[in-house]
Amino acid sequence: MKSDELYALLRRRGILWPTAELYGGAQGLYDYGPLGAALKRRIEEAWAAWFVGLSDDYYRIEGAEILPEAVVRASGHLENFTDPEVTCESCHAAFRADTILEKVRPEGVDGLTPAQIGELVVSHAISCPKCGQSTLSVPRAFNMMFGLDFGVTGRERAYLRPETAQSSYLAFPRMWEVGRKALPLGVALVGRAYRNEIAPRQLLFRMRAFTQAELQIFFDPAHFPVPISEVMSEPLPMLRVPRRARGEESPEWIRVADLRSEALPDFYLYHLVHTYRFYRDVLQIPKERIRLFEKSDAERAFYNRIQYDVEVHLESLAGYKELGAVHYRGDYDLTRHSQGSGKDLSVLTTDGRRIVPHVLELTFGVDRNLWAQADVHVIQEGERTLWKLPPPLAPVQVGVFPLLKREHGDYARSLARELLASGIVAEYDEAGGIGKRYARMDEAGVPFCVTIDGETVSQDSPQRDTVTLRDRDSRSQDRVPRSDLANRISNATRFPRPGAPFPTRAV
């Protein structure tokens, strides 16, 4: 489905809409309605169940969204978190340099200096996309953080956090103190991040306020044992720098065993496999649509040593799009915060070495992934729109219908209440014909529907207290005892976990 059509569908269903729509909207900001907000929460919980579930030593925290200036100075964001901005001297419109150079330089402008970008604008005779004049300025570095006047005097400077990761770095010394004082130590956080994007576009892909789910794993680079043998034969869809340089866009499937011999460390590969499996098995993205895109030295974020982005091919946005990444950040973060705060953040390892822990970051954009769930799983079958959401992600898990409102309504309502009480999200619906009700549930991604009919309520029927359970995707119907329903639905909608957490405590 094209991006416009998909957005129209999501808006019509009340899943999301522009913030302040009443006032014409605000660029790069979106609000979620009941279904959208519930789906977003399911995605966040599925992420946490999977990634925090990787090890007994990974924990989830929360952190404030406002950071004092000293934090973003130390982290490097004040200095480096910039995008090259080009303005038009005639109409004063502002653009990101990579956007206006998209046609002549599809690989982007990361790693180029403002002067080099300026030369490209001139040599390709790029004119202003808005007014058409050849009056584009030399690029300037535009800092993407939102600054705030903090406190009553307004003289203290603070910033909205540009990445949730910073909250986890700030938490490290306290988590070390209250924990078992051993590495690895994983700190996960799901929350809002804010960036004053120069050109917000592509709906949920370049927002100014968005949600990240990020796991920061603090570890000893000399000793981070992972059960690599468990993933050794897994093939991964890799698009590495040499292949990219040959102009290839599709990934090649390489087994972990072969990647291992090519200098990718075990701790990195192990977490890359589990990241890939999360997209394939939990988000149920077809594996042919996923690629692990290696960033070159020039393209990597300023803090990264190894970076593979997880990209998924989205029909609505006509190509591969980055939805998350695995970053090896070295000791950059704790070293910088040590210098910035004047506090020693080194720790003593169990074998008596003093080290600054390194960080492996697993980052995930929740809003982009919500869009991907619509792109990949909304299917148009003639007149019928079907949202084949993986059942554990479905915001409503079961629709409960009386076949006839008057005769079966009380029974159906009491069944819906019973399912809700056992933790299943059930929605009662008695409006319109049964076909219409199925269609509404299909469009909202509800994986199961239950119908109460004459047999269910009849005193004499051998099928008393049985209901019809319909499966959204196959449309098959099963007669199921009421007493089995909660179990069947809970089993199908439980968050998948990555298997047994690996035993870091033993090492």
Count the helices and strands in the chain (H runs, E runs). Answer: 16, 26
Q: Give the shortest CB-279-to-ligand GAP separation in angstroms.
A: 12
Q: Which of 38, 34, 55, 57 is nearest to 46 (CA)?
A: 38
Question: Is residue 395 close enough to count as binding ligand GAP by CB under 6 A?
Answer: no
- List the x/- string, 216-235, binding to ligand GAP by CB under 6 A: --------------------
Q: Which of 88, 238, 323, 394 binds ligand GAP (CB under 6 A)?
A: 323
Rounded CA separation 196/70 (Å) = 19
Q: Choose the binding region for ligand GAP from 203-211, 438-446, 469-477, 487-495 (rule: CB under 6 A).
A: 203-211
Report how far Cα 387 is from the mean position of its chain's Cα atoms.
Answer: 19
Taking CB under 6 A as the binding criterion, the range among 129-137, 279-287, 359-367, 410-418 that sits at the site for ligand GAP is: 359-367
What radius of gyration, in Å, describes the C-alpha atoms of the chain?
Answer: 26
Q: What is the DSSP string of 372-411?
A: HHHHHHEEEETTEEEE---GGG-SS-EEEEESSHHHHHHH
Among the residue ranges 285-293, 362-370, 411-419, 495-503, the one whose residues contact ligand GAP (CB under 6 A) = 362-370
**Structure-derived torsion over alpha carbons of residues 285, 286, 287, 290, reported in degrees to the nearest 10:** -50
**121 in contact with ligand GAP (CB under 6 A):** no
> Crossing angle, helix 332-341 and helix 165-178, to 10 degrees?
80
Taking CB under 6 A as the binding criterion, the range among 119-127, 199-207, 345-353, 483-491 that sits at the site for ligand GAP is: 199-207
**Position 322 contacts ligand GAP (CB under 6 A):** yes
**Residue 76 CB neighbours (<10 A):** 16
DSSP state of 494: S
Is there binding between residue 63 and ligand GAP (CB under 6 A)?
no
Between 322 and 430, name the residue whose CB sits nearer to ligand GAP. 322
Return the ∠ at Cα 366 (arms to 365 and 369), rounded to 5°.
85
Residue 324 binding ligand GAP, by CB under 6 A: yes
* Interface pick for ligand GAP out of 13, 40, 77, 195 (rule CB under 6 A): 195
Phi/psi at 41 (nearest 5 deg)? -65, -40
Residue 311 contacts ligand GAP per CB under 6 A:
no
CA distance 383 to 431: 20
365 binds ligand GAP (CB under 6 A): yes
Choose among 276, 314, 310, 280: nearest CA to 295: 310
Q: Are 28 and 208 in contact (CB under 8 A)?
A: yes
Q: Which of residues 143-182 bind ligand GAP (CB under 6 A)?
A: 163, 165
* Residue 231 Cβ vs ligand GAP, minimum distance, rounded to whole Å: 22
Q: Is 214 in the site for ligand GAP (CB under 6 A)?
A: yes
Among 325, 376, 415, 452, binds ligand GAP (CB under 6 A): 325
Among 210, 270, 320, 371, binds ligand GAP (CB under 6 A): 210
Nearer Cβ to ligand GAP, position 55 or 275? 275
212 binds ligand GAP (CB under 6 A): yes
- Alpha-carbon distance 298 to 279, whole Å? 27
For residues 443 and 388, what is the distance between their CA atoms, to the nearest angstrom?
9
User: Of 47 and 401, which has the nearer Cβ to ligand GAP?
Assistant: 47
N-term to C-term CA, the chain: 50
172: which 2 tokens? 């490290």
| Cβ-based nearer residue to ligand GAP, 85 or 163 | 163
Residue ranges that bind ligand GAP, judged by CB under 6 A: 163, 165, 195, 197, 205-207, 210, 212, 214, 322-325, 361, 363, 365, 367-368
